[in-house]
Amino acid sequence: MINDRHLVPLKPVLFADRTCPVCGSGDLLAEGAVFPGVHVLGRYTCKACNYRFLHDLPVGFAVDHDVAIGLDDGRMHDAKDAEPWVTGPLMEGFKAPSDAEVRIERKVIRSCRRVVVLNTLDFLYGHVLLKLWNAQHYLDKHADLGLVLIMPRSFEWLVPKGTAEVWLVDQRLGQAHGWYRSIDRQVNAFLNDYDEVYLGKGYAHPDKARVDIERFTGVKPFALEEHGRAPRHVTYVLREDRLWFRTPVHKFLYRVAARLLPNRVAGAFFLSDQQRLAMRSLALLRKAYPDVTATIAGLGDKRSVPHGVEDLRTRAMSTDTELAWCKAYARSHFVIGVHGSNMLLPTALAGGCIEVLPHDRYRNLAQDVAHRWNDVMLLFQYRFVDEFASPRTVARHATSMYRDFAVYYRNNRVNVY
């Protein structure tokens, strides 16, 4: 089998770089893999003390935060600083596995006997997307292995060319953290068809600058070289569950209202105010560049917008909607929005971004930004502002990104060795 740290052997020999969580022995009997959903675990028996346990295989978040679970005593071992959102659902699922039948459609594009399986299942949209972007590495670096993707059906439109098989899971993201016997049964049945199987690591934070987003979306991203010739266009990514607030008082009142009133009622004023902030920043930008047009994208309801603004918000997602949004991002010099997974595709396709960053998300800085530059241009093209930044502050950054680009690009991309 291939010795590569980015591949986890599964078949014919299961990954066995593990020790018994009870006695510490490394002499284990590796018996098979379990696929309950988000996690992939190996099943082991210690030859020294006969302790039977499951242990996370090093894929996804378990690359760093792997957990061992005793099969007979139900004990959790070696959480390794894993946060409760990782360990809690795993243990709950192990103790009360679901017998719900989750349909998996297997689509064979190209038959292979040797494969790498990349499990992208997760309960958060951004996590699925980031795991999926690992596919490019395996397509390019292991062309001798067929790539098999396990993914939510709603992400099928992002399958890159060259993929050998796609296993589409009919399940809402919010349900993915459970432990499903039917997923384990179906996946293990599929694996019987191969002679040699590896798991892809599915790193939670792949090098986004290396991701060729056109291979996933079919949409060519904004060309930085065309910055001065492309019609001036920006896209606002406005989400309804994490808002751009005018002041700390507004944020506090929103939280109070959310507890006392129905969601639609509580959010009505603040959603309108978020749009006022966004459109005010556009109006200020247009004082310097009157020809700027804009798009608004995001899950939500359309609202009245100024001239030259296209509102693409919707609550009914489809592949056509996804592609329409991607095309808007790709013609944008930059996108503007609040931190979150909603910024991954926009930043992967646009020339840059201005991100409104909430105080409690500082530890997640840039995790949602798919920057395409690894030199000093990154500092110019990707801006972060405070969660209570005024429209004037955002407009000043936007104006600079148009006004100062030519000189900055010349000094850092042209007049260099």
Going from N- to C-terminal start, the domains of the chain cover: 7-95, 104-212, 214-414
User: Which of 121, 106, 148, 95 is CA-nearest to residue 35?
Assistant: 121
Q: Look at residue 148 and give its three-state secondary structure.
A: strand
Q: State the pLDDT at residue 126.
A: 95
Across the chain, mean pLDDT equals: 94
Q: State the pLDDT at residue 296.
A: 98
- Report the percent of the chain where pLDDT is more than 90: 88
pTM (predicted TM-score): 0.93
Question: Which of 58-72, 173-187, 263-277, 320-334 is least confident?
Answer: 263-277
- pLDDT > 70? residue 359: yes
CA distance readout (Å), 205 to 83, 106, 113, 131, 344: 17, 27, 29, 8, 12
Rounded mean pLDDT, 226-245: 95
Cα(63)–Cα(78) distance, rounded to whole angstroms? 13
Q: State the pLDDT at residue 365.
A: 93
Asked if the 214-414 domain carries CATH number 3.40.50, the reply is: yes
Q: Are 30 and 38 in contact (CB under 8 A)?
A: no
97 confidence band (pLDDT: 50, 70, 90): very high
Q: State the pLDDT at residue 221.
A: 97
pLDDT tens-digit map of 16-57: 999 999 999 999 999 999 999 999 999 999 999 999 999 999
DSSP 162: T
Q: Look at residue 285 and give its three-state secondary structure.
A: helix
375 confidence band (pLDDT: 50, 70, 90): confident
Q: What are phi and psi of 224, to 5 degrees?
A: -60, -30
* Helix (H) or strand (E) segment spanning residue 248: helix 248-260
Q: Give the type of residue at 175.
A: Q
Q: What secondary structure does DSSP assign to 38-80, as a single string?
A: S--EEEEEETTT--EEEEE-SSGGGGTS--EEETTT--EE--T
Match 């290396």 to its residue by tokens. Answer: 210
- pLDDT > 80? residue 265: no
Q: State the pLDDT at residue 49.
A: 97
83 confidence band (pLDDT: 50, 70, 90): confident
Q: Are 35 and 9 in contact (CB under 8 A)?
A: no
- pLDDT > 70? residue 309: yes
Q: State the pLDDT at residue 402.
A: 97
- pLDDT > 70? residue 79: no
Per-residue tokens: 27? 């002499």
- pLDDT > 70? residue 385: yes
- pLDDT > 90? residue 80: no
Cα(202)–Cα(204) distance, rounded to whole angstroms? 6
Q: Are 405 and 252 in contact (CB under 8 A)?
A: no
On the CB side of 98, CA atoms within 13 Å amount to 18
- pLDDT > 80? residue 286: yes
- Report the percent of the chain where pLDDT is more than 70: 99
Q: Are 237 and 295 in contact (CB under 8 A)?
A: no
Q: What are phi and psi of 11, to 5 degrees?
A: -155, 135
Rounded mean pLDDT, 91-107: 95
What length is written for the chain? 417
pLDDT tens-digit map of 109-146: 999 999 999 999 999 999 999 999 999 999 999 999 99
CA distance readout (Å), 401 to 5, 225, 324, 385, 409: 41, 14, 25, 14, 11
Per-residue tokens: 303? 């609202």
Q: State the pLDDT at residue 31.
A: 94
Q: What are phi and psi of 87, to 5 degrees?
A: -80, -35
Q: State the pLDDT at residue 263.
A: 67
Q: State the pLDDT at residue 372.
A: 84
Cα(235)–Cα(330) distance, rounded to whole angstroms? 9
Cα(44)–Cα(35) distance, rounded to whole angstroms? 14
pLDDT tens-digit map of 189-204: 999 999 999 999 999 9
pLDDT tens-digit map of 149-180: 999 999 999 999 999 999 999 999 989 989 99
DSSP 155: G
Q: Are 77 and 93 in contact (CB under 8 A)?
A: no
Q: State the pLDDT at residue 130.
A: 97
